Amino acid sequence: MTTTTATWLAELTDALGADSVLTDPDVTAGYARDQAMLAPAGTPAAVVFPRCTDDVVAVMRVAARHGLPVVPRGAGSGLAGASNAVDGGITVVMTRMDAVLEISPADRLAVVQPGVVNKQLRDAVAGAGLFYPPDPSSYDWCTIGGNLSTNSGGLCCVKYGVTTDYVLGLEVVLADGRVLRTGRRTVKGVTGYDLARLFVGSEGTLGIITEATLALRPAPKKPVTLAATFATTAQTGQVVERVVTSGLVPSLLEVMDNTCIRAVDDLLKADLDRDARALLVAQSDAGGEAAAQEIAALEELCREAGAEFVHSTDDPAEGDLLLAARRMALPALEQLGSTLIDDVAVPRSRIAQFLDGCDTVAAARALTIGVVGHAGDGNMHPTICFDPVDADQRERAFAAFDDILELGLALGGTITGEHGVGVIKVDWLEREIGPVALDVHRSIKSALDPAGLLNPGTVFRAAHRDATLGR
Amino acid sequence: MTTTTATWLAELTDALGADSVLTDPDVTAGYARDQAMLAPAGTPAAVVFPRCTDDVVAVMRVAARHGLPVVPRGAGSGLAGASNAVDGGITVVMTRMDAVLEISPADRLAVVQPGVVNKQLRDAVAGAGLFYPPDPSSYDWCTIGGNLSTNSGGLCCVKYGVTTDYVLGLEVVLADGRVLRTGRRTVKGVTGYDLARLFVGSEGTLGIITEATLALRPAPKKPVTLAATFATTAQTGQVVERVVTSGLVPSLLEVMDNTCIRAVDDLLKADLDRDARALLVAQSDAGGEAAAQEIAALEELCREAGAEFVHSTDDPAEGDLLLAARRMALPALEQLGSTLIDDVAVPRSRIAQFLDGCDTVAAARALTIGVVGHAGDGNMHPTICFDPVDADQRERAFAAFDDILELGLALGGTITGEHGVGVIKVDWLEREIGPVALDVHRSIKSALDPAGLLNPGTVFRAAHRDATLGR
């Protein structure tokens, strides 16, 4: 350990206490990466666990003084490597700041610390008859801070939107250690720039979120659930398009392709139709007659499109069974090998073309690709299954990953619907947003973090110092 | 005219054509201010009317070359002076860029130029069974560009949110004339920073919006309408709070106080209860049985709170009559003198206290103040009526305006819910957001507009050159 390192580690320990500053490589390795298993990750010099905003301020001051890279993270459920460690840097784990500070039914909001687990917040507000909609698949272990930093989505988005739609206000520790409070507790407010939404989705590159004021919704009503299978992608796409043009707003509209259907059937022995090209699962939480009507209308659209099988139920337990196939898609695909999970959003009118395109990629690269996704909002997760030990397969898997991004852009879509750019799609960011937008990103980054301390190399590269980064 | 002025005017005329560059002071004076009649405004050296993005690029390049202030504006319906002219600057009127470029029912979005009038867009999408919710009171003449720049709200917000909730993508001409395209056509997308929402609500200080991709909603269903009067503000506030805690989401929930009730009754001879302390008007557009149930639940809440009068109807024409009282509140108050319209949003649990506080201000300043507002989202418009020729009254009116902002902040609210900061609340911005947030604003402004050309003096002051601005 150099003298300099000893100095700043001592400063960190003085500020946070020895039990909040870890340096044992065997321990810190556990905080070096998220769930994007094949993304590059560095080795942190220290992993720290702040207990309060002042602790985060202290960390950023030490980092600023010594020019150290800082990577904030929550539970590490990310899928883009956005919280992967930087060599020699400080990884700031926010999980000890896990208090739900306030739930206000009268103002329909909650104030939380970033380490609160999504499910913990959902359960806490459910007790007051309220609902926090964003529901990433990892909701039972991912943290709100991570959700904010990546602007997480989930199954709810078709009706309820994404994380940024629920952010009223934030407290953020800036790169120089100053504490910014921005936003409000009111439903509306236009005082100055919308800074809160600039930090949301910035993947830890602009500041460390230490508190959030979040809007809530009334609790959803008992769901009515529908499942339908189709012989062609055209039929499947037609239903999604007709849902949009008919003005239906189901609370959930999910799709899985034949590869997923077979994988799930293998795993669950669920007697699924193994020859169906696609399975749609939908729910309405509009309640009572309205939900029944919404699902009946959807059932009619499925039959008009030529569905092979349609079934609906207002029994929540049976609905859960219908949804189980969808929820098990990824675990089922994981039985087929290592997985590279992509995350492309396309306009809702292009879903059939996207499914067909993924088939073409799978055939061309001689790989298994299962597509599961949020059909209602066009956010698809083609999942490439491969053997990572086989160098050729591995190379083809990465090539297929890129093919799918290319396909998404060609269909007017985006390279990431909800997982984020992280470190795995940095090269693709500029292709999507172009040089002017990239330059604006760099200008804003420089304005808020001139020394480039916060999560360097994530989302986009600094203009002239890429080579010096430790990952 | 100086040689320099002649030079840049010639450059503008060369680029845009003589019919798009006006300099006659009698004509340009008509573009010097918005509807905030008492806000300061300068005299523009030129008023230009771009027809396309390239024209806007040309204007910004001339401005950048000569260091000229540039003020973008739409129809001039603003209420904060945000588009008021700067002495010697160029006012850019976007009303000729008024094309609805695309309506996509299958992707439930529209692409528009900024000069499209809000009502023009609403009507255009209604033809496709779709709905663009943001509905500022000036919807029949304000432009989408202005709505974007101020993040407009309206009566719809309690259920449908504000303008930023409908922005998918933007094209923006930056201060140096580069064209930024940001955002997407997909429902979801997290590629890079949320730049689109940074420009929304930035009141023309960061760039000139030249195109917008906007999300649409399914057309609302036939409304059911309710009106109720109350003897006390406590009863009124109780209903609003119970609406929130009961999980009701009416599509409209408006309030007007006794001063407004009397003013409207004087104007319309509508046989209103002139002794009622407050009138609530609500609608549900949930459709059929759901709407009837929602309004029945609301009716019950009104009775429980002790309403003096409650009436509901599913006849749209009768509903319009009930709403007419609300819609006429401002014209009715204008019969009582000049008006200063404030725009404070408070947490929904604080509405009774806010109404009482406005009464206290009116008594203390010996002025008539009528409060009308969007009770469902807490955004209140206390309107001060006074004689501007009476210097003492005028002074008291401005003092009352400030008293109301103070009251809003004290109740945990914001100094502007939907009208913007403009030039009239610049002094109040820092009081609400504090020095760190102000500094972040200045950093972002410097990053995107280092020469400070765009709408200088609006929203906040530059750090060191306040004195040099021409307004």
Structure token digits, residue B162: 């504000």
Task: Please choose, from the candidates B138, B141, B134, B140, the residue with its C-alpha nearest in 3D space to the C-alpha of residue B155.
Answer: B134
Per-residue pLDDT of A92-109, as tens digits, reads 999 999 999 999 999 999
Q: Give the right CATH number for A100-218 from 3.40.50.2300, 3.40.1000.10, 3.30.460.10, 3.30.465.10.
A: 3.30.465.10
3-class SS letters over B149-203: HHCCCCCCHHHHCCHHHHEEEEEEECCCCCEEEEECCCCCCCCCCCHHHHHCCCC
Residue A469 in this model has a pLDDT that exceeds 60: no
Which of A191, A197, A210, A416 is the mutation pick for testing B, counting most B CBs within 10 A?
Answer: A191
pLDDT score recorded for residue A3: 81
Using CB atoms, pick whichever of B106, B130, B202 lies closest to residue A349.
Answer: B106
Across B342-419, where does the E strand assignment appear?
344-345, 368-374, 379-386
- The verdict on A430 touching B (C-beta cutoff 8 Å) is no
Read off the pLDDT band of A38 (50, 70, 90).
Answer: confident
Which of B135, B190, B222, B381 is the mutation pick for testing A, counting most A CBs within 10 A?
Answer: B190
CATH 3.40.50.10540 describes domain B224-410? no
Contact A418 B190 (CB under 8 A): yes
| Residue in the block written with tokens 């209103």 | B272
Provide the CATH topology of domain B3-95.
3.30.43
Residues of A in contact with B377 (CB under 8 A): 186-188
Per-residue pLDDT of A289-317, as tens digits, reads 889 999 999 999 999 999 999 999 999 99
Residues of A in contact with B108 (CB under 8 A): 244, 348
Contact B193 A444 (CB under 8 A): yes
Per-residue pLDDT of A6-34, as tens digits, reads 999 999 999 999 999 999 999 999 999 99
CB B392, CB B353: distance < 8 Å: no
Query: Chain A closest CA to B386's CA: distance in Å?
Result: 26
Which ipTM did the prediction report?
A: 0.96
pLDDT score recorded for residue A447: 98
Using CB atoms, pick whichever of A187, A378, A429 lies closest to residue B348.
Answer: A187
Nearest residue on chain B to A244, judged by CA atoms? Answer: B106
- Please name the CATH architecture into which domain A3-93 falls: 2-Layer Sandwich (3.30)
Contact B345 A184 (CB under 8 A): yes
Mean pLDDT, rounded, of chain B: 96
Region B424-432: mean pLDDT is 96
| Angle (nearest 5°) at CA A375 between A370 and A378 | 100
Residues of B in contact with A105 (CB under 8 A): 244-245
Per-residue pLDDT of B134-186, as tens digits, reads 999 999 999 999 999 999 999 999 999 999 999 999 999 999 999 999 999 99
CB B205, CB A192: distance < 8 Å: no
Please give the Cα distance from A337 to A360 (Å, whole number). 20
**B residues 266-295 lying closer than 8 A (beta carbon) to A:** 286-290
Region B215-230: mean pLDDT is 96
Using CB atoms, pick whichever of A190, A413, A432 lies closest to residue B201.
Answer: A190
Nearest residue on chain A to B220, judged by CA atoms? Answer: A247
CB A100, CB A130: distance < 8 Å: no
**A residues 147-176 lying closer than 8 A (beta carbon) to B:** 150-151, 153, 157-158, 161-162, 164-165, 174
Across B175-318, where does the E strand assignment appear?
179-183, 208-215, 217-218, 224-230, 252-257, 278-284, 309-313
Please give the Cα distance from B204 to B182 (Å, whole number). 16
Using CB atoms, pick whichever of B201, B246, B379 lies closest to residue A194.
Answer: B201
Contact B248 A218 (CB under 8 A): yes
Using CB atoms, pick whichever of A181, A186, A429 lies closest to residue B378.
Answer: A186
Q: How many CB pairs under 8 A join A and B?
A: 271
Per-residue pLDDT of B25-75, as tens digits, reads 999 999 999 999 889 999 999 999 999 999 999 999 999 999 999 999 999
Provide the CATH topology of domain B97-218.
3.30.465
Region A338-362: mean pLDDT is 97
**A residues 188-217 lying closer than 8 A (beta carbon) to B:** 188-195, 197-198, 200-202, 206
- The verdict on B100 touching A (C-beta cutoff 8 Å) is no
The b/e string for A56-95 (b: 16+ C-beta within 10 A; e otherwise) is bbbbbbbbbeeebbbbbbbbbbbbbbbbbbbeebbbbbbb
CA-CA distances (angstroms) from residue A345 to A333, A380, A429, B188? Answer: 20, 6, 14, 7
Residues of B in contact with A182 (CB under 8 A): 433, 437, 440
Edge-to-edge strands, sheet with A21-22 = A21-22, A46-48, A90-93, A70-73
CB atoms within 10 A of CB A242: 18
